[in-house]
């Protein structure tokens, strides 16, 4: 009897010990809102956007605020499905790295899962949130800067290792979610080393570092199946010509692009290279001032067959043009590749990156896209800062792109301008 009790006691102790091992060995998870401050882990439980279902097309009569009224991804218009005309993409930098700060103020927005760090684990949490967001929104693409998705290291090797680790997770998540990269790019403007430019810097070591950073960014874009790669020369310009050799800097910029083209071909990356024009801010004068300036640069250096343009509507405003003007300039030169879908405020002198809600402007934009036969392999990326009404703005944007007046665009393409005026009236 005593032996039986002893055996039972030992078995009970063994079971308790095994249970403790199982609990200790189990992966620890964090809630999406980071309430227990466990920012040292990239794991989570639950959803980052709880109580928000996948947003669907419900038609113009739907009373559901979070539904598509006019955007029906599968509906055919002018021979293409809406999703193929539009090819929407979520911009990682605004959506998950935007802080709500402006040139004169401190950050005003903070995601509940952020822990205040820029650690690798925090980067992974953001990436998980990204794929939940685009899946619920029903968008097929996303785009990124290298330093937005992974933290900068103390050395180039450390930065590349950080990027590799986050990109491995991104590849896993996008395969599972059946999403794709519209484009990737290297952030060559925020770090102090780039204060005088990257490809146009007067310092050889900065030029070389920028080249190495772009090389890595092209590699990871290729690895993720990216369809394009963007060059935005945020600091490729000058403040004064009194201490700038413009011709030399432009030659350096061209050599930089030529090297990128050569490497693209070497690794078999078939994506399109895109240049994003912008006239100023942060520099007084940027070399890619507008579509016409960029087209002339490409012709001068024999690069027109290798590049197209990524037109941002807010940049058009800063250069004194309309977005429609910039799109048409790119299109008639055979260079229209992608659109940064946003708008600027004509009363504000900096890049405000607002969501486009003007029906007339959106219709003219789509007129250029239709005349171009679409944007593929490019698309529309939401290069706009978040606000409290993020979802509402996106829904409004989708509404104005294809309102009930799609027939207006069809008539313009067919030359029936009289019918267009009648419809508009």
Question: Tens digits of per-residue pLDDT, 70-106?
Answer: 889 999 999 999 999 999 999 999 899 988 888 888 8
Q: What is the mean pLDDT of residues 417-422?
A: 39
* Six token digits for residue 75: 């509906």
Token pair, residue 364, equals 């003219």
User: Which of 117-121, 352-356, 389-393 is predicted with the least confidence, judged by mean pLDDT?
Assistant: 389-393
- Top-tier CATH class for 66-424: alpha beta
Note the pLDDT of residue 46. 67
What is 359-415 written as a DSSP string? HHHHHHHHHHHHHTT--TT--EEE-----TTHHHHHHHHHHHHS-TTHHHHHHHHTT
Mean pLDDT over the full length of the chain = 84
Among 42, 40, 30, 49, CA closest to 95: 49
pLDDT for 28 equals 38
Q: Is 370 left (phi over 0), alpha (psi -120 to 50) or beta?
A: alpha
pLDDT reported for residue 38 = 52
Per-residue pLDDT, averaged over 303-324, amounts to: 94
Under the banding of pLDDT at 50, 70 and 90, the label for residue 112 is: confident
At residue 263, does pLDDT exceed 70? yes
| Residue 389 scores a pLDDT above 60 | no
How many DSSP H helices and E strands does the chain contain? Answer: 15, 12
Instruction: Give me the pLDDT at residue 1, please.
Output: 53
d(CA 137, CA 176): 16
pLDDT for 205 equals 96
145 catalytic per annotation: yes
Higher pLDDT, 227 or 24: 227
Percent of the chain with pLDDT strictly greater than 90:
64
What is the predicted pLDDT for the residue at 36?
A: 55
Residue 14 has pLDDT above 50, yes or no: no
pLDDT of 284 strictly over 80: yes
| Euclidean distance between CA atoms 232 and 124, whole angstroms | 25
Nearest to 379 by CA among 89, 78, 174: 89
| pTM attached to this predicted model | 0.84
Provide the pLDDT confidence category of residue 404 given band limits of 50, 70 and 90.
very low
Selected catalytic residue, list 94, 145, 321, 325:
145
Q: Work out the average pLDDT over 172-183.
A: 96
User: Is 250 in contact with 286 (CB distance < 8 Å)?
Assistant: no
Q: Average pLDDT of 235-264? A: 96
Q: Distance (Å, rounded) from C-alpha 134 to C-alpha 88?
A: 10
pLDDT at site 420 = 36
What's the whole-number mean pLDDT along residues 233-243?
Answer: 93
Output the furthest CA–CA distance in the chain (Å, rounded). 103
Which segments of 26-117 does DSSP mark as H helices, in order? 82-86, 92-97
| Total count of residues recorded for the chain | 425
Q: Please state the rounded mean pLDDT for residues 187-208.
A: 95
The per-residue pLDDT for 386 is 79
pLDDT tens-digit series, residues 38-49:
545 666 666 898
| Average confidence (pLDDT) over 47-76 | 90
| Mean pLDDT of all residues in 269-285 | 94
How much is the pLDDT for 422? Answer: 40
Q: What pLDDT was estimated at residue 421? A: 35
Q: What angle do CA 352, 230, 409 make, to 5 degrees?
A: 70
């Amino acid at each position: 009897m005593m032996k039986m009790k002893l055996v039972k006691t030992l078995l009970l102790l063994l079971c308790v010990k095994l249970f403790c091992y199982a609990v200790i060995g189990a992966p620890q998870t964090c809630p999406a809102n980071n309430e227990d401050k466990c920012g040292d882990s990239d794991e989570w439980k639950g959803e980052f956007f709880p109580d928000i279902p996948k947003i669907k097309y419900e038609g113009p009569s739907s009373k559901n605020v979070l539904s598509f009224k006019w955007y029906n991804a599968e509906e055919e218009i002018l021979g293409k499905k809406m999703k193929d005309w539009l090819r929407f993409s979520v911009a990682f930098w605004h959506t998950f790295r935007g802080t709500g700060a402006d040139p004169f103020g401190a950050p005003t927005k903070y995601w509940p899962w952020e822990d205040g760090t820029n650690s690798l684990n925090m980067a992974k949490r953001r990436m998980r949130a990204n794929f939940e967001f685009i899946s619920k929104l029903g968008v097929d693409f996303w785009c990124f800067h290298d330093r937005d998705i992974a933290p900068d290291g103390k050395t180039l090797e450390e930065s590349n290792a950080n990027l590799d680790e986050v990109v491995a997770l991104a590849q896993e998540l996008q395969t599972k979610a059946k999403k794709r990269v519209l484009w990737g790019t290297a952030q060559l403007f925020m770090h102090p080393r780039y204060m005088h430019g990257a490809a146009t810097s007067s310092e050889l070591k900065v030029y070389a570092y920028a080249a190495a950073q772009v090389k890595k960014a092209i590699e990871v874009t290729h690895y993720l199946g990216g369809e394009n790669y963007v060059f935005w020369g945020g600091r490729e310009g000058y403040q004064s010509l009194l201490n700038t050799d413009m011709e030399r800097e432009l030659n350096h910029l061209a050599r930089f692009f030529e090297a990128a083209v050569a490497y693209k071909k070497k690794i078999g990356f078939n994506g399109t290279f895109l240049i994003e024009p912008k006239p100023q801010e942060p520099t007084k004068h940027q070399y890619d001032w507008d579509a016409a300036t960029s087209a002339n640069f490409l012709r001068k250096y024999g690069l027109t067959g290798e590049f197209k343009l990524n037109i941002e509507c807010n940049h058009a405003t800063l250069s004194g043009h309309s977005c429609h003007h910039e799109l048409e300039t790119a299109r008639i030169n055979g260079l229209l590749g992608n659109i940064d879908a946003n708008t600027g405020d004509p009363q504000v002198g900096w890049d405000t990156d607002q969501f486009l809600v003007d029906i007339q402007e959106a219709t003219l934009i789509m007129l250029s896209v239709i005349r171009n036969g679409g944007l593929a392999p490019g698309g529309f990326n939401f290069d706009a800062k978040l606000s409290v009404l993020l979802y509402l703005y996106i829904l409004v944007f989708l509404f104005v792109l294809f309102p009930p007046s799609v027939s207006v665009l069809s008539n313009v393409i067919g030359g029936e301008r009289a019918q267009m005026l009648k419809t508009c009236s």
